[in-house]
Structure formats: C-alpha cells, structure tokens
C-alpha cells in the first residue's frame, strides 16, 4: 500500500500551531498577583500606598511565571480582577476605612480565599475593627491589629535573627526606625502562625508615647522584655497562604534592601511561586524617593 507523506510545509504549519498552543498554555499557567493600593494619606512621605505598590510591581516584573496588576484607589474598578487573582496584597489605611470591609467585600474575599487564594496585608491594612473583619483576618492571615490592645509606637526594631523560611531567603538581619505595630491579636495559641520578623521593644518604647492613642497601655508595659512579632506568615488548610507586615509607614523606608526583599518574597510566596534561593531581585536603581 502506498503511504502518503504530507508535504513538509504542512508539518511546519502544525509545528507552528503547536508552538502557539504551548505558549498560550504557559501564559495561562502564570500566577496572578493583584496589588491593591489605597489612596495616599498622612503627611509627605508617609503612607505612600500607590508609589509603594508600583515600586513592588516594578521589582516583581523580573519574576518568571508571575503576572502583577496594580489597582489604585483602594479597590479595582474591574472587579473581575478579584476573581482572577491567585493572591492579593493590600497596602492601605485600615480600621473603618479598610477597603476589604466595605460593601460585601468580606464575603467576596472569603469565597476566593476558601478556594486557596493567597492574601497579604501591609502596615495600616492589618488593622480592622473588632467584629467587622477581625474573625476573617485571623482565619485568612493569622491575626490583625486591634485597637487598644495592639500599639503603634515609632521605634527602631532590631531584627537580629531570622527563621528559615522561603520569605527570609536572601534577607540579612537588619534594623530600622518605623511605626512597627506590635502585640497583634493572633489566633489562639498562635495556631498555624509562623513569626518572621521578631524584635524586642525597649522599655522606653513600651512606655510610649504611641502614635494614637498616645498611651501607654498597662498591658503593654507589663510585658517589658518580651519579644514581639512584626511580620508573620500562615499556610491555611485550604491550601492558600497569608502574611501580615506591620511596618511601612515611611515610603523612604523601602530603600532598605532587606526590608524591601522580605516583603517581595512574601508576595511571591503567597502567589504560589517558589521564592528564588537568593530572594527576590531588588533594584537599587528603583529605590524609593
């Protein structure tokens, strides 16, 4: 029987179509990270949420397999981005104005997180009112700032040692002056919570003043000498990951390479991508201004 051999051009067409298919499949496999920036607030150089998130997005552009979108104004105008996201990080003012607790957003996020979506909160965004977001935050990221229980002094935290964790890859011990919140309201017995950044506030720091209310609080003073957690991570039973980071008041503070890298690492990690052995790439040329 005569065997028909397809023309070589036909095989080239098929090979080309396969290449297009393969490229489409690979692109579809990218992990999507949504960075939500609240409006800038406070004084000059403080709470520069939009500039901070755009800076992070610039750095993360070098991470293979990660697609990053920045939404400004506190929430994406295109809410389909929430449904497409494999991970979301919010850097915004918190408490009653927290973008995650407006309208029906807690329920929207809870559904996505139950499906394994990662979630991270930076600085004021770890602060939600008791009874409106507090239970969700403990479930989603392990803990939160609680008014009159946690405190927010300006002080220099000295992180002398770091745990072995993907978030700490390529990060050297560092110390920096910031509005480092501490005494978070964590899950009971810190269940499933991994401390990442730990430092010991001085007695003077515990004695206040705090930023607001100025304090001091007797229960904060009573724990003089105790180490506190300023960054933490969780791996949830639904397969998703979360983190909280209490620093980030001053935009200039992101010039500190270890500080910037540890947050970038956390963003990569909650997106479900392996953090590079040397940590996330950090470009000094893109240092915060």
Strand 143-144 and strand 185-186: pairing?
antiparallel
Residue 206 sits at φ, ψ, to 5 deg, of -65, -30
Is a pLDDT exceeding 80 seen at residue 101?
yes
Read off the pLDDT of residues 120-142 as tens digits, 9 standing for 90 and up: 999 999 999 999 999 999 999 99
Given pLDDT bands bounded at 50, 70 and 90, which one contains residue 43? confident
Mean pLDDT, to the nearest integer, of 17-33? 54
Mean pLDDT, to the nearest integer, of 238-246? 96
Ordered by where they begin, the domains of the chain are: 30-286 (3.40.50.880)
Rounded to an integer, what distance in angstroms lies between the CA atom of residue 92 and that of residue 175?
Answer: 23
Mean pLDDT, to the nearest integer, of 174-203? 97
Return the pLDDT at 284.
Answer: 61
Give the predicted TM-score (pTM) of the model: 0.89
Rounded to an integer, what distance in angstroms lies between the CA atom of residue 45 and that of residue 170?
Answer: 27
Closest residue by Cα to residue 126 from 86, 78, 90, 73: 90
Mean pLDDT, to the nearest integer, of 45-58? 96
Name the token pair of 225.
């000498």
Higher pLDDT pick, 18 / 127: 127
Read off the pLDDT of residues 156-184 as tens digits, 9 standing for 90 and up: 999 999 999 999 999 999 999 999 999 99
Mean pLDDT, to the nearest integer, of 263-275? 98
Rounded to an integer, what distance in angstroms lies between the CA atom of residue 72 and that of residue 30?
Answer: 22
Higher pLDDT pick, 218 / 24: 218
Our CA dihedral for 230, 234, 240, 246, rounded to 10 degrees, sits at -10
Rounded to an integer, what distance in angstroms lies between the CA atom of residue 189 and that of residue 225?
Answer: 20
Is a pLDDT exceeding 50 seen at residue 10?
no
């Amino acid at each position: 029987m005569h065997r028909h051999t397809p023309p070589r051009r036909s095989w080239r067409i098929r090979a080309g179509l396969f290449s297009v298919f393969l490229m489409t499949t690979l692109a579809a496999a990218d992990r999507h990270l949504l960075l939500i920036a609240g409006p800038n607030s406070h004084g000059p150089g403080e709470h520069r949420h939009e500039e901070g998130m755009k800076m992070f997005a610039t750095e993360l552009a070098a991470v293979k397999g990660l697609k990053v979108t920045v939404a400004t104004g506190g929430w994406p105008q295109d809410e389909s981005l929430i449904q497409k996201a494999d991970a979301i990080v919010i850097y915004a003012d918190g408490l009653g104005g927290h973008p995650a607790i407006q309208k029906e957003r807690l329920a929207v996020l809870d559904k996505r997180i139950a499906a394994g979506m990662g979630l991270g909160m930076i600085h004021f965004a770890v602060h939600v009112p008791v009874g409106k977001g507090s239970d969700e935050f403990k479930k989603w990221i392990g803990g939160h700032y609680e008014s009159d229980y946690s405190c927010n002094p300006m002080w220099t935290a000295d992180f002398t040692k770091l745990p072995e964790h993907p978030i700490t890859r390529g990060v050297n011990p560092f110390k920096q002056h910031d509005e480092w919140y501490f005494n978070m309201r964590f899950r009971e017995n810190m269940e499933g919570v991994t401390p990442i950044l730990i430092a010991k506030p001085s007695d003077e720091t515990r004695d206040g003043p705090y930023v607001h209310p100025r304090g001091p609080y007797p229960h904060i003073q009573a724990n003089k000498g105790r180490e506190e957690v300023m960054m933490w991570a969780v791996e949830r039973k639904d397969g998703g990951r979360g983190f909280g980071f209490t620093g980030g008041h001053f935009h200039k503070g992101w010039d500190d390479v270890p500080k910037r890298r540890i947050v970038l690492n956390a963003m990569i990690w909650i997106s479900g991508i392996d953090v590079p052995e040397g940590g996330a790439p950090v470009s000094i040329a893109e240092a915060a201004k």
